[in-house]
Amino acid sequence: MPAYEYKGVDKRGKNVKGTLDADNERQLRQLLKQRGVMLTKIGKGGEGQGLLSKEIDFGEMFEKIGPAEIALFTRQLATLVRARIPLSDALAACVEQIEMPKFKKIVSKLRTDVNEGLSFAHALEQYDEVFGGLYANMVRSGEASGKLDEVLMRLAEFTEASVKLRQKIRGAMMYPTIMVVVGSLILIGLFVGVIPQITKIFEDSGQELPTVTLVIIWISHTLQAYWYLFLAGLMGAPLLFRLYVKKPEGRYKWDGLKLKFPIFGDLFLLVGVARFTKTLSTLLGSGVPLLTALDITKNVLENKVLEETIEDACVAVKEGAPLAVPLKQSEQFPTMVVHMISIGERSGALEEMLDVVAENYENQVESQVSRLTTLLEPVMILGMGVVIVIILFAVLLPILQMNDFVQ
């Protein structure tokens, strides 16, 4: 039963609009007539046809469907399907719960496609940029095996774990970011507004100034004279960096450099390993073949160096090699991970071993993030303190020299 968008006028002459399920437009008119609504415009919401669908909602153009929305939708759908509610009715119930208009239309279209005979996996493939290849492939395996409810529950747990991991990392980096921004603004205010007023006294005195004071004065004058270049650099540098990393070669070099960063490099590797093992375990547990699972998993790593490692592993596995062998040869994955995968392959319990590794590395990520947060706070405070002390020293030293000269 397709979903129709409509606009009309009620008995009081008030404009109304909404979405209603009907077999055809004739039935829609009858249903609205029973509600006392005179139809003025109609459009098939699911397929993007009709007058209403041609209206542009600029608000939706800027809406971004994030992992949190996908996770919530998946959990609701998995719960409904596990309760033996038909998929079409479960999707209809989810549509009513979704608040984001753009996402609501997508799920409504999924329901329409399922009602018209498409498989749920095929319907999801139309929105690969929203759900990703992992989602559709897992649903396809669940539909083929008749265990869609179990697969959806796995997906719900996986998406929720992914959202939780992202939130932990972002939350940990929020405080240092705020500290850097606030500290930079304070320093700029000192160099542009305060230091010039103080150093003007030293310049008028004609005395020879210490080197540190001359450096501070030079920085202050430079910021005042070329503030527009400094501002352009602050705004342009991130843009140029984003353009650089969009190129395949630039992205590969940057991702490789991230893994070599002192302190942070270990964290990036931990996150990559946790994602790889969790995703691969989830796919294998849902009945997805190993080669297909590896091909999907490489796209969730968000690191080109690790993606290339998985691509090479796919080629080796196709040629009959165990998965652990190419991973060990790449020297990108920790020895413990390779060893656990090797044991899992030999014992026929690869999925269980991957689950163990994923849980272990997710715990390590959490511990590492906590340690970094604890470490960064005093380091940044100390750094700002050192800069402030240098500025005070540069200002006070000439004053002390002037007092000695007067005496």
Render 251-283 in DSSP notation, one character per residue.
HHHHHHHHHHSTTHHHHHHHHHHHHHHHHHHHH
The two tokens of residue 370 are: 């906590």
Q: Which CATH number fits domain 67-161: 3.30.390.30, 3.40.50.300, 1.10.3720.10, 1.20.81.30?
A: 1.20.81.30
The two tokens of residue 67 are: 């992992």
Instruction: Examine the pLDDT at 233 and tell me if it is beyond 50.
Output: yes
- Mean pLDDT for the chain overall: 81
SS3 5: strand
The two tokens of residue 154 are: 């796995």
What is the average pLDDT across 268-287? 85
Q: Which DSSP symbol is given to 10?
A: -
Contact of 258 with 265, CB cutoff 8 Å? yes
pLDDT tens readout for residues 346-402: 888 888 899 898 888 888 887 887 787 777 778 878 888 888 888 888 877 777 766
* Whole-number pLDDT of residue 61: 54
pLDDT tens readout for residues 48-100: 444 444 444 445 555 678 888 888 898 899 899 888 899 989 998 998 888 88
Question: Is the full-model pTM beyond 0.75?
Answer: no
**Alpha-carbon distances, residue 294 vs 218, 326, 378 (angstroms):** 56, 13, 41
Domain with CATH 1.20.81.30 in the chain: 67-161, 173-407
pLDDT tens readout for residues 103-129: 888 998 898 888 888 889 888 888 888
**Alpha-carbon distances, residue 146 vs 93, 97, 117, 136, 137 (angstroms):** 22, 26, 17, 15, 14
Q: What are phi and psi of 9, to 5 degrees?
A: -130, 130
* Whole-number pLDDT of residue 44: 55
Count of C-beta atoms within a 10 Å radius of residue 61 = 8
Superfamily of domain covering 173-407:
Type II secretion system (T2SS), domain F (1.20.81.30)
